[in-house]
Structure 1
Amino acid sequence: MAGISLTIPRSSPPRLKTPMIRRQRGGKLESVSWQEALDYVATRLSAIKAKYGPDAIQTTGSSRGTGNETN
């Protein structure tokens, strides 16, 4: 899709200002520090890798935008 953009202003009230974690399926989101959020992600990714193997995790990125070019 050429020319796609998100036009949510940086000061928009619904915009997240801190990381949030949902610790259980269906649970409430809770605001956490950046350090806690990064630790949580690292722990969860390590658990996924241990249970399902390294091929269970995929990353994507691009210098041209969102990374959707690889999909």
Structure 2
Amino acid sequence: YNGSEVDAVKVGTIKRAKGLEFKQVLLPDVRPHQIGDAEPPTDGAERERWERLRRELYVAMTRARDGLWVGVA
């Protein structure tokens, strides 16, 4: 977000949004295991994947300046 008022919708990935800021952020399909609704896996590879998904969710959520909309599936 650069302060200019432009009517537009940007669709992108979480990885491409890192370091950017947006007026509104919509996360339409967040899974329960990404938000702490499930116990973390004990298997090493699965646990790494689980932690990566949680970090990506954090990045996505912190891109919002004025509003955050989260759809939980």
TM-score, with length taken from structure 1: 0.34
Which structure would you say has the larger RCO, counting Cα contacts within 8 Å and 6 or more residues apart?
Answer: 2
Q: Which has the larger radius of gyration?
A: 1
